[in-house]
Chains A and B, each alone.
Chain A
């Protein structure tokens, strides 16, 4: 029997039902994480989720499954896993599918403590794997949700576990018997939960959960870190296809698909965005080889990238030249998974720094940087000394071109590690193509031999005059002609890929080395955290023409690009910021990337140093202020005292004393009010005052006999203190007499 402020409590069966609900909720949270992973398990998740939901709503359903099914379930799951492992190219997706099946099995079957703990471990496995592989902000929320659910789940298990033997697993026969707790309706449970909910306990539990989060954040910051030069092991067990089209080859139409995607592709954090005067071109990949389907990275360029591959954390740009006008300070890039293995570069840079040691490929001639494989997780890196220049320096191109013309066949193995310069002059082949291209070039140049810059300007004007901008392209028929040539020969509208490719093939036909470049253009500043948000819809393609001397010149022939560029530049110049709710939510992701994902030993040392500096500065500042104060006080005291000053000082002292006394009284009053509200049965002001007077009258009288006044008033005070209310004398009179007796001593 329990007494006190009696609150309704859940019965044992209701606790078991609550445990069932919490277990199901945890399982659903863990299944949700699979949506972050690019594994082929969505249909399995849908089936498992539906089954779990059904079992949550109707907990008696599992009892209708015959024992033989339960007996065969685990062997069947193992067989499915073995078959999956045999057929699947990757191990991890098969493991994740196994995890889903086991979570399903454990959630929809009746459980005891051991199975409950298995469910927690399985859910945690799915969440951690998804979190590690995606580094998504959603992982943080799901992990928190799962933790809250798991703690509540364990709490209920502990309460149930006290009174029943739950260490022994259920038999298959028992798994097919409907337990008593599963028979009631879920609605009744929720009504009971509402009845037993106590705001104090809920608040306390919420406070504790916040404490857990705070404490784990503190632990996260203080756990010592060591830099270990290794990549993440799970990457080896899963492969991922690019979602954007920025791979080694870009076919016509790839970029236009991306333009419809409004999700954020990357975020760029600038330490100083004031110097930014134009809308950046985020250069990802240079496509130097023409194919009838589109452009692609040539084997020579791939060879150069492979040849220059080093496991490193820091790379200096070779041949970057002197940085003339660096902007932006330190640029930190957060690239979403699946964008590309190539790193977006806004211009020339001095230093590229990675979060950890990774195999990095670079090409000085094409100014490219890439990882060996596409990262499964968010990729972060930093650039320093960035110069937003439309030029890509390539001082050796002329010599290489001359060498290639003189030696058309590669003679040494080293030739396989440099791109073939002749490829930048090769366009569509065949007489029909040649005829069209020659005609168009004549139209552009008027038969004259123009320098590259002038040709690019006229070709751009010609293209924009003939073709409008549209995301859908209908190519006219044309026997023996490549797609791009048919498009050039028509008046059909096109999009950036067609304009860039068209300009490139025209330039090549005119004898100017040219290549297509794919990447992003523009972006918008986030109004909350001051960083660039670049969406997939900012995907863009443009061309680069060699100026005949030492650099590749960026040319963007897409109609509206200039307008867009100027608009973007204007927006950038005026620091126009996106302050929408989408940007607000997106800023959370950047905080997650900045503070959590990119946290390393360097940041840890910075935090320790800043704490140390703050402590030292605060101490020094306080000391200085205290010394100043004492000095001023001393000066104030040493000044001559006259009557007026004394009166003012006395008045001030009296006011301070009165204010202090009033504060003490107020605090005293508040304290007793609080006590009276908290324990009304124990609080009575008359009894309390009588007790005070008894104490006062008792103490001095210990050494001598009580006076007559004392003897008269003490019994009355005792009656007020301890007696029944009905027998009380008039309290005010008694207290008055007590005061007199006190004075009489």
Chain B
């Protein structure tokens, strides 16, 4: 992180996000903004603030009733403190901008961190005591037990509210002038799918806690939540004997055969640097070895709506498929994946597995004929072998999911 504030970019928002040079200053605009705050800028008195106002009213009444200048002085001082509070609050927000960085990937059931980056672009003054209100919710609420038409508005709102996760992160430390800080919000998504993380408001009680200033932000960032990892039982040693396919893989791995050269990236082992190639090309190059030759699996996932009728079971399918794909990839035994009759995607790199998980995150049961091969097994039946070492999934019982390799049950979840 740099020591000074970076140049303003498009994704920053807040009072300091606009480039100062392009901002036209006018006293008229300033005064008008003080009288009539901008949209979504809300200032409300807190309990101490209300008490102060009542106290000021009481002292003012006594001052007028008694014509005591001492009480008038006290009244003036209280009002001046209230005005100072507003002025300092304005100073505090001035030049401050923020953005959110939801570092991916998100996974259901796993805690992840949302980073809020805050910059203070003021030249002299620090900023204090800001808080950031964050929330995350799925883009599309899942279908409930009851149809939406049969629900009351209150029930709908309660159901939506259950899906929303709210949080507030505080900037406790002083943010120096021209400084920046990163605040982290830990969130644990409950279900897979497309979600939105939103910085809904930025607030502060600074400086004296009389007034609560809230700036509505509505800074939204879409995220994908991968399926949760599940525990499953693997019995595939019998079902898929090693060496049955005899196909060699051409994936990067930890074998002895040199597969390719690539540019050095931060974090790579220095032992893998190809010094001759690096000297010739003028940049650090890294040796990439082929994975050990062994048999791999194809993972085929078909989700006809007629088969996967239960939402809970379908969620388990997604989690099961995702977990198995990751495990197989980690063991170097995943050759490719296919979803709903789509093309077979080779999983040579981690990015390919992640693309599969992305697809799983958004996967929904498809209608009849939606890419499902006619040979797909019915519920309770034995699936015929589609190809060698192909893993397919079928519902097992009311809640479980079973994985088959070439017609043999290999794993259950």
Give chain A interface residues in 428-459, CB to chain B under 8 Å. none
How extensive is the interface on chain A, given as a class? Answer: 35 or more
Produce 1/0 per residue, A112-124, CB < 8 A to B: 0000010001001
Nearest B residue to A220 by beta-carbon distance? Answer: B76
Nearest B residue to A226 by beta-carbon distance? Answer: B64
| B277 at the binding interface (Cβ < 8 Å) | no
| B4 at the binding interface (Cβ < 8 Å) | yes
Contacts of A231 in B (CB 8 A): 66
Contact B173 A216 (CB under 8 A): no
Nearest B residue to A136 by beta-carbon distance? Answer: B70
A610 vs B123: C-alpha distance when bound (angstroms): 41
Give chain A interface residues in 101-148, CB to chain B under 8 Å. 117, 121, 124, 128, 131-132, 135, 139-140, 143, 147
Instruction: Pick the residue among B67, B172, B178, B209 that contacts A4 (CB under 8 A).
Output: B178
A151-B208, A155-B207, A208-B84 known; A128-B72 Cβ under 8 A: no
| A227 at the binding interface (Cβ < 8 Å) | yes
A162-B172, A201-B126 known; A219-B70 Cβ under 8 A: no
Contact A154 B208 (CB under 8 A): yes
Contact B77 A143 (CB under 8 A): yes
A599 vs B65: C-alpha distance when bound (angstroms): 15
A162 vs B3: C-alpha distance when bound (angstroms): 26
Nearest A residue to B88 by beta-carbon distance? Answer: A208
Give chain A interface residues in 152-208, CB to chain B under 8 Å. 154-155, 157-159, 161-163, 200-201, 204, 208
Give chain B interface residues in 124-148, CB to chain A under 8 Å. 124-126, 128-129, 131
B66 to chain A, nearest CB (A): 5
Contact B129 A147 (CB under 8 A): no
Contact A2 B176 (CB under 8 A): yes
Contact A228 B67 (CB under 8 A): yes
Contact B1 A3 (CB under 8 A): yes
Give chain B interface residues in 157-198, CB to chain A under 8 Å. 170, 172-182
A495 to chain B, nearest CB (A): 38
Contacts of A117 in B (CB 8 A): 48, 51
A212 vs B380: C-alpha distance when bound (angstroms): 81
| B59 at the binding interface (Cβ < 8 Å) | yes
| A69 at the binding interface (Cβ < 8 Å) | no
A161-B205, A162-B172 known; A4-B120 Cβ under 8 A: yes
Contact B205 A233 (CB under 8 A): no
A155 to chain B, nearest CB (A): 5
Instruction: Pick the residue among A12, A158, A217 that contacts B205 (CB under 8 A).
Output: A158
Contacts of B362 in A (CB 8 A): none
Nearest B residue to A356 by beta-carbon distance? Answer: B67
Instruction: Pick the residue among A1, A140, A155, A226 that contacts B1 (CB under 8 A).
Output: A1
| B30 at the binding interface (Cβ < 8 Å) | no
Contact B76 A162 (CB under 8 A): no
Contact A1 B181 (CB under 8 A): yes
Contacts of B208 in A (CB 8 A): 151, 154-155, 158
A132 vs B73: C-alpha distance when bound (angstroms): 10
| A600 at the binding interface (Cβ < 8 Å) | yes
Interface SS majority for chain A = helix
| B314 at the binding interface (Cβ < 8 Å) | no
Nearest A residue to B209 by beta-carbon distance? Answer: A158
A598 vs B68: C-alpha distance when bound (angstroms): 9
Contact B74 A131 (CB under 8 A): yes
A3 to chain B, nearest CB (A): 5
B93 to chain A, nearest CB (A): 15
Contact A162 B170 (CB under 8 A): yes
Contact A219 B76 (CB under 8 A): yes
Contact B129 A227 (CB under 8 A): no
A117-B51, A154-B208, A162-B129 known; A4-B76 Cβ under 8 A: no
Contact A6 B80 (CB under 8 A): no
A117 vs B74: C-alpha distance when bound (angstroms): 17
B337 to chain A, nearest CB (A): 39
Contacts of A9 in B (CB 8 A): 173-174
A7 vs B125: C-alpha distance when bound (angstroms): 13
Contacts of A600 in B (CB 8 A): 67
| B375 at the binding interface (Cβ < 8 Å) | no
A99 to chain B, nearest CB (A): 15
Contact B170 A163 (CB under 8 A): yes
Instruction: Pick the residue among B79, B88, B178, B206 that contacts A219 (CB under 8 A).
Output: B79
B184 to chain A, nearest CB (A): 10
Contacts of A226 in B (CB 8 A): 64
Name the residue among B74, B84, B124 with the largest chain A CB count within 10 angstroms.
B74
Give chain B interface residues in 313-338, CB to chain A under 8 Å. none
Contacts of A131 in B (CB 8 A): 70, 73-74
B117 to chain A, nearest CB (A): 10
A220 vs B69: C-alpha distance when bound (angstroms): 8
Contacts of B250 in A (CB 8 A): none
| B5 at the binding interface (Cβ < 8 Å) | yes
A231 to chain B, nearest CB (A): 8
A216 vs B173: C-alpha distance when bound (angstroms): 31
What are 13 A-B pairs at a CB distance below 8 A?
Answer: A2-B174, A4-B5, A6-B179, A135-B70, A154-B210, A155-B207, A157-B209, A216-B79, A219-B79, A223-B72, A232-B66, A233-B65, A678-B123
Chain B residues within 8 Å of A, Cβ to Cβ: 1-5, 48, 51, 55, 59, 62, 64-77, 79-81, 83-84, 88, 120, 123-126, 128-129, 131, 170, 172-182, 205-210
Q: Which 8 A-B pairs have the closest CB atoms?
A: A4-B179, A2-B181, A216-B80, A154-B208, A219-B76, A216-B76, A4-B176, A220-B76
Q: A3-B1, A212-B80, A356-B67 are in contact. List 5 more A-B contacts (CB 8 A).
A: A1-B1, A2-B176, A158-B205, A228-B67, A596-B73
